[in-house]
Structure 1
Amino acid sequence: MRSGRTPAQKQALYRRIAELAHAYAGAEPRNVFVTVTENTSADWSFGHGLAQYAGS
């Protein structure tokens, strides 16, 4: 995920993922683990071995 989201936004995301896992797959919310790795523009390549968003 791109960096910049607040802790509250992340917590809301985790909560919603657990709710949806329960609703659609029957997973117990206590058994849903979420890991978020933040990154920047230089961490992305959309083909051809280039980091298109990293700048020149």
Structure 2
Amino acid sequence: MSETIGYILEFTGLVLLVLGYRKSNRNLMLAAALCLWFGGGISDFVRGFLHGVGV
């Protein structure tokens, strides 16, 4: 489940990066950077959170 969310965020980040670059829109490129950043670390975060909760 957490890997799927990570892949979705990474794909969304790549799409936003291309759109932001083509339109010269800094806000889209910022959103792309955040999606790529969260997409890279979300699986570890979710796994650690579930381990800490004890599920």
TM-score by length of 2: 0.40
Q: Which has the larger Rg?
A: 1
Q: Which has the higher helix share?
A: 2
Q: Which gives a bigger RCO, structure 1 or 2 (Cα 8 Å, sep 6+)?
A: 2
